[in-house]
Structure 1
């Protein structure tokens, strides 16, 4: 799992590449918690490089949503691939997550 971050208009964009499972979930959780502890509570996770997520990945997303929303921020997704979208649909996460076609659209949604 590779994670890179960049800033755009006060929003932190996290670009993830690889699979999210029990082995990689702790790294992602730690990275997100680090962002939030630095006050970066408006997050966009670019999933265009994520090819798989397990239930561990769903827990990462839920934790990030709770953590950011508790501080007045949010986590929004972009670039969700079909296999990952299927998991999000089946688990009901599409009802609690805001998803966008592009990172720019996700960033703009915070305005």
Structure 2
């Protein structure tokens, strides 16, 4: 899984593509945890080219969300999600735990 990191003044955008499943979720979680270790707590994941997120992927994102929200330090924001992926979020009941934007400009401007 490839990642592109773009740093802005108040947030960091991680762009990835493909499937986030039991094979790739640990890799994504590790990349996000490396950002946290660098002191970056407002993280935006651009999911425009993500085609699928499994339960393992959602659990990885939930663990990262808990870490960045600890002590009100920041938030993990999801942007450019495919409608089917957004529906799977609702289906597993985790939608209330994430802020979701339709475009990157709104997401970056929200932090």
Q: Structure 2 CA distance, aligned partners of 1:77 and 1:29? A: 14
Q: Structure 1 CA distance, aligned partners of 2:53 and 2:80? A: 14
SS at match of 1:80: coil
Structure 2: gaps spanning 5 or more residues: none
Cα pair 1:9 1:107 within 8 Å, conserved: no
Shift of 1:10: 2.2
Kindly tell me the number of residue pairs found equivalent between the two proteins. 110
Residue of structure 1 in register with 2:94 after alignment: 93
Q: Structure 1 CA distance, aligned partners of 2:34 and 2:97? A: 23
Q: Structure 2 CA distance, aligned partners of 1:74 and 1:36? A: 11
Q: CA RMSD in A?
A: 1.0
Q: TM-score, normalised by structure 2?
A: 0.94
Dislocated runs of 4+, deviation >6 Å? none
Q: TM-score, normalised by structure 1?
A: 0.94
